[in-house]
Chain A
Amino acid sequence: MEKAPVLDFESFDTACIVTNLLTYRLFTRIPSFFPKTAGSAAALCTIFASLLAFVLIWIISAVLYRIPRINIIDAAEAAFGILGRKLVSGFVLFYLGVSSIVILCELSEFAKLISFPTAPFAFCAMFFLAAAILGAFGGLDALARLHRLFVPLSLAILALIVVSTLWDADLSNLFPVLGRGAENVFGNGILGIVMYTDIILLFLIAPPKKPRTKVPKITLAAAGISVFAVSAVMFAFTVRIPYPISSEGQFPIYLLLKEIHYGRFFQRIDAILLLAASLCGMLYLSLNLFFFTHILKRDFGVSDTKPLIPVTALTAFFAAIGINFISAQILSVLLFCSGFAVLAIFLLTIIFVKVRRRNFDEKA
């Protein structure tokens, strides 16, 4: 039998991947950046950062989709030559590595917090590590299908949480409207884009087969739904958890969850959230690991990626244990820096592509 068509920009699978990439960080401690930065204006700050991210995604997609059969790394090569290619690949690899370690740390901490307060960190991380290795071995096609299964579930749970918390919302938590000041909300708030930097994987997944004048609706819709979901959760968080409790650096989604009581039967839905977070986290880590080894193979001449998958995963595992032992703050800083570096490179590439369009089209 002929193989089914592989992942495409227009497919529902890609939309699910985009959604997971953009919403997954809600399950980590990263969103606590917003209340820390903006205080009672955390929701406003999130909406601002989300809108910026959406525009950014739209611009990159709109430029990149016009050129068929190349992804962002090919674009970098066309724009800056082979050195540009290596540089972008290197930065993407660095970002993927840092991001994987951060998520592994956060996910394991989250599982530990809900299920095993006394268990060692490595015990929790072990499950995610094993899942990531198996997922990367499974390949992109299988991972895309799994996104189709699990991401709607995750979105449904997020929606349930938002609806359940808005029931007892205290709108006075939104005041003062500008929280810690306009400078913090709209100045430092730009850093909140780091919530969405994982979108870079979208530009590595599958270059369009034909040039397009418009960004596919499904991709834009997925990005829109995702930024809306993040904004909605942070809005619910802001109206439910007053500042300064909201800025304590805990997992915001977990704090929000503790506010929900579903009558007599389900006292809390922590366990269900853990299930969704774990499944989506495993998908996220698998995808990261897959792309890490894929880029190594494509751009750095590694011929066989299969042995590389467990090696890379184990390296991330030990790095996560080590860094978690020293200080998780280092990772956050690294993540912010690398996220912005990658975004900057992407934008630079896009600008060059735009300027040297004719030359570029010929190469493509």
Chain B
Amino acid sequence: MTLKSLILYQSRKAPDLASLTPPQKSAENNPGINSYIKNNIKDKSSFTYRVGKASPVLAENLRFIRDAFECSKNFDMVIREFKIKAENRFIDAFLIFYDGLADQTLINRDIMRPLMTSGISCTSDREFENVVYECMLSQAPNTKICEMQTVIEMVGFGNCAIFVDGCSCAFVADIKGWSKRGVEKPISEAVLSGPQEAFCETVMTNIALVRKILKDPNLIAENIPVGTKSKTTCALMYINGITNISLVKEARRRLESIDTEYIFSSADIEMLIEESTVFPFPQLLKTERPDRAAAQLSDGKVIIIVQGSPFVLILPATAADLVESSEDNYVRVAEANFMRLVRLIGCFLALFLPGIFISVVLYHHESIPTDLLFAIEATREQMPFPIVLELIIMIMSFELIKEASIRVPDPIGSTLGIVGGLILGQSAVSAGIASPLLIIIVSITALGSFAAPSVSISRALSVMQFVFIFLGSTAGFTGLAFGTFVLALYLASSRSFGVPYISALDESESPFVISPIWRREKRPAALLPQRSIKQPHISRKWKGDA
């Protein structure tokens, strides 16, 4: 519990502390801290209200809890009052949990039954507290918590809190039992020959998926709750002894300094911690594959797993990561290199092809054979629009189809593709709205953008291509050179968590060529890892033995 939240319940007898509280700031300007409790407090004289801690008087705790959770309105909040069987008496107690968030079977079996049926033999309250905690609650993740604010947060996260008369603490049992999706196949990063596991929405499951791969005791998972109200669990993971401490500190600093009420997904975290909002390319990688996250961790990067999001953030991101696909690690080196080359060409075409086409047609006729030039001009004779407008119309039509096919159900998606891609394209040519060559250009551009290894890169390329169309139509290749220069300059002067965005170019290993695994001896130098050597110079020792 923070100092501010403690002060909130301070009685008037302590003006010195109260004076420290910023006036009118506690609730109105920062409603995340206990405002929901403050608004409902009727009697502030009790111990619980005064110090924000669990009271030894059960009635006080009960009243506080009812106020805090607004039990009169919240129909899913369950407060179950019962009596614990002691040796020669019954002790009052109650437990609270949210119906649907906590597992009721566990509550009945591991909490209620032992407490109500076993007899406790003890003399003092202190001893009684220990006996309940150590002997009676058989649920494994079980903690004693005195701060009421923490109890409220934990109950909101699916735990069950048990208050016992005479105990100045709450016993919080981790019995989360909400409905969740299991580990399924990755959708946006599907591979043919690799693991078929994807992250899900539950943070603990996701951490376990990574741990299962790395099996390294130095793998650290720090819990950093983000969101003043939602307290969304964000797991900051890194490998101690490999990852640069400054990188970890910076990631932690940025996460901890987020001041917002609610966090819904990793996309929110991404936007809140990235360097620049206008930067066209992703500054943090997103992956739904545990194997990719694990590989990046072993390289000295940091990952952030956010509760409720199946996409894990990897930081920092560099330009080399933009062309990397998980599939690269599961195929033979020659195959992987060929696929990477195809991807690079695809990205290049997606970004530049429309601009180059416009430049050539408008300014650099001499670059193409005369026959082809005549053919282009012949097809364009009947066209009502200028070529730039024609190109933009066709690209926008394609973007429309792409966007629509994401929204419609799967069975209709393929039909939409056929209708949009084939029929509309053919009709546009027949109607004289677009020339056949232009359809080819737009199609190749679209295929190129699909070859990008992630959706965010594909979208970035789609946006950027309009800039190059504009520059190409304005100044031909000079305009394209200008655009390329500015884009490259922007990339070169940008940093992701202090690491230069195109830092991979500084290293001996080219980001464009994949080397065999036995030659990947070093971690990326730009990350300044604590241990830069991954494996010895000769990792295939059997070669020497032979």
Which residues of A approach B to under 8 Å, CB–CB? Answer: 1-4, 111, 114-116, 123-124, 127-128, 130-131, 134-135, 138-139, 141-143, 145-146, 148-150, 264-272, 274-275, 278-279, 282-283
Q: Are the C-beta atoms of B364 and A115 separated by less than 8 Å? A: yes
Q: Are the C-beta atoms of A134 and B366 separated by less than 8 Å? A: no
B contact residues around A123 at 8 Å (CB): 475
Q: Are the C-beta atoms of A270 and B367 separated by less than 8 Å? A: yes
Contacts A2-B246, A4-B503, A271-B477 given; 16 further ones with Cβ under 8 A?
A1-B495, A1-B497, A124-B478, A134-B486, A138-B490, A141-B500, A142-B489, A142-B493, A145-B506, A266-B367, A266-B368, A267-B366, A267-B369, A269-B367, A271-B360, A278-B485
Does B482 sit within 8 A of A, measured CB to CB?
yes
Does B363 sit within 8 A of A, measured CB to CB?
yes
Q: Are the C-beta atoms of B492 and A142 separated by less than 8 Å? A: yes
Residue of B nearest to A135 (CB): B489
B contact residues around A145 at 8 Å (CB): 492, 500, 502, 505-506
Q: How far is the CA of A127 from the CA of B234 in the complex (A)?
A: 46
Task: Name which of A1, A131, A134 has the most chain B CB atoms within 10 A of its CB.
Answer: A1
Give per-residue flags for B232-251: 1 if the beta carbon is below 8 A from chain A beta carbons, else 0: 00000000000010110010
B contact residues around A272 at 8 Å (CB): 367, 477
Does B375 sit within 8 A of A, measured CB to CB?
no
Residue of A nearest to B480 (CB): A275
Query: Residue A275 contacts which of B368, B481, B489, B500 (CB distance < 8 angstroms)?
Result: B481
Q: How far is the CA of A162 from the CA of B482 in the complex (A)?
A: 26
Q: What are 10 A-B contacts defined by CB distance under 8 Å? A: A2-B528, A4-B503, A131-B486, A143-B492, A270-B366, A271-B476, A274-B477, A274-B481, A278-B482, A282-B482
Q: Are the C-beta atoms of A275 and B367 separated by less than 8 Å? A: no
Q: Are the C-beta atoms of B482 and A115 separated by less than 8 Å? A: no
Q: How far is the CA of A149 from the CA of B481 in the complex (A)?
A: 13
A contact residues around B250 at 8 Å (CB): 1
B contact residues around A146 at 8 Å (CB): 485, 488-489, 492
Q: Are the C-beta atoms of B369 and A265 separated by less than 8 Å? A: yes
Chain B nearest CB: distance from A65 CB in Å?
A: 22
B contact residues around A138 at 8 Å (CB): 489-490, 492-493
B contact residues around A124 at 8 Å (CB): 475, 478
- Chain B interface, DSSP helix/strand/loop, else mixed: helix
Does B384 sit within 8 A of A, measured CB to CB?
no
Chain B nearest CB: distance from A327 CB in Å?
A: 24
Q: A115-B475, A146-B488, A278-B477 are in contact. Are A270 and B493 (CB under 8 A)?
A: no
5 closest pairs, A vs B, by CB? A1-B498, A278-B481, A142-B493, A142-B492, A145-B492
Q: Are the C-beta atoms of B246 and A131 separated by less than 8 Å? A: no
Chain B nearest CB: distance from A34 CB in Å?
A: 27
B contact residues around A2 at 8 Å (CB): 246, 498, 528
Q: How far is the CA of A264 from the CA of B373 in the complex (A)?
A: 12
B contact residues around A115 at 8 Å (CB): 363-364, 475-478
A contact residues around B367 at 8 Å (CB): 266-272
Query: Residue A279 contacts which of B359, B485, B505 (CB distance < 8 angstroms)?
Result: B485
A contact residues around B371 at 8 Å (CB): 264
Q: A134-B486, A266-B367, A267-B369 are in contact. Are A1 and B247 (CB under 8 A)?
A: yes
Chain A nearest CB: distance from B48 CB in Å?
A: 45
B contact residues around A3 at 8 Å (CB): 498
A-B contacts, CB under 8 A, total? 123
Q: Are the C-beta atoms of B485 and A274 separated by less than 8 Å? A: no
Task: Name which of A2, A111, A127 has the most chain B CB atoms within 10 A of its CB.
Answer: A127
B contact residues around A131 at 8 Å (CB): 482, 485-486
Chain B nearest CB: distance from A52 CB in Å?
A: 33
Give per-residue flags for B359-401: 1 if the beta carbon is below 8 A from chain A beta carbons, else 0: 1100110111111000000000000000000000000000000
Chain A nearest CB: distance from B500 CB in Å?
A: 6
Does B479 sit within 8 A of A, measured CB to CB?
yes
Does B526 sit within 8 A of A, measured CB to CB?
yes
B contact residues around A267 at 8 Å (CB): 366-370
B contact residues around A148 at 8 Å (CB): 505
- Within 68-114 of B, Cβ neighbours of A (below 8 Å) are at none
Q: Are the C-beta atoms of A127 and B479 separated by less than 8 Å? A: yes
Residue of B nearest to A110 (CB): B478
Chain B nearest CB: distance from A185 CB in Å?
A: 36
B contact residues around A143 at 8 Å (CB): 489, 492
Q: Are the C-beta atoms of A149 and B488 separated by less than 8 Å? A: yes
Q: Are the C-beta atoms of B493 and A139 separated by less than 8 Å? A: yes
Which residues of B approach A to under 8 Å, CB–CB? Answer: 244, 246-247, 250, 316, 359-360, 363-364, 366-371, 475-482, 484-486, 488-490, 492-493, 495, 497-500, 502-503, 505-506, 526, 528
A contact residues around B370 at 8 Å (CB): 267
Q: Are the C-beta atoms of A274 and B478 separated by less than 8 Å? A: yes
A contact residues around B493 at 8 Å (CB): 138-139, 141-142
Residue of B nearest to A147 (CB): B492
Q: How far is the CA of A272 from the CA of B481 in the complex (A)?
A: 10
Residue of A nearest to B527 (CB): A1
Chain B nearest CB: distance from A123 CB in Å?
A: 8
A contact residues around B478 at 8 Å (CB): 111, 115-116, 124, 127, 274, 278
Q: How far is the CA of A267 from the CA of B250 in the complex (A)?
A: 54
Chain A nearest CB: distance from B276 CB in Å?
A: 14
Q: How far is the CA of A128 from the CA of B489 in the complex (A)?
A: 14
Q: Are the C-beta atoms of A279 and B475 separated by less than 8 Å? A: no
Chain B nearest CB: distance from A284 CB in Å?
A: 11
Residue of A nearest to B471 (CB): A127
Residue of B nearest to A124 (CB): B478
A contact residues around B360 at 8 Å (CB): 271
A contact residues around B482 at 8 Å (CB): 127-128, 130-131, 278, 282
Residue of B nearest to A277 (CB): B481
Q: How far is the CA of A111 from the CA of B359 in the complex (A)?
A: 13
Query: Residue B489 contacts which of A134, A266, A278 (CB distance < 8 angstroms)?
Result: A134
Q: How far is the CA of A222 from the CA of B290 in the complex (A)?
A: 44
Q: Are the C-beta atoms of B369 and A282 separated by less than 8 Å? A: no
A contact residues around B481 at 8 Å (CB): 127, 274-275, 278-279, 282
Chain B nearest CB: distance from A38 CB in Å?
A: 31
Q: Are the C-beta atoms of B492 and A4 separated by less than 8 Å? A: no
A contact residues around B366 at 8 Å (CB): 267-268, 270-271
Q: How far is the CA of A143 from the CA of B246 in the complex (A)?
A: 26
Residue of B nearest to A123 (CB): B475
Residue of A nearest to B488 (CB): A146
A contact residues around B477 at 8 Å (CB): 114-115, 271-272, 274-275, 278
Q: How far is the CA of A123 from the CA of B489 in the complex (A)?
A: 22
A contact residues around B528 at 8 Å (CB): 1-2
Q: How far is the CA of A148 from the CA of B493 in the complex (A)?
A: 14
Residue of B nearest to A127 (CB): B482
Q: How far is the CA of A128 from the CA of B360 in the complex (A)?
A: 20
Q: How far is the CA of A187 from the CA of B412 in the complex (A)?
A: 80
Q: A1-B497, A124-B478, A127-B478 are in contact. Are A271 and B364 (CB under 8 A)?
A: yes
Q: How far is the CA of A4 from the CA of B363 in the complex (A)?
A: 41
Task: Name which of B475, B478, B490, B502 has the most chain A CB atoms within 10 A of its CB.
Answer: B478
Q: How far is the CA of A270 from the CA of B477 in the complex (A)?
A: 10
Q: How far is the CA of A4 from the CA of B528 in the complex (A)?
A: 9
Residue of B nearest to A5 (CB): B506
Chain A nearest CB: distance from B319 CB in Å?
A: 10
Chain B nearest CB: distance from A86 CB in Å?
A: 32
B contact residues around A275 at 8 Å (CB): 477, 480-481, 484
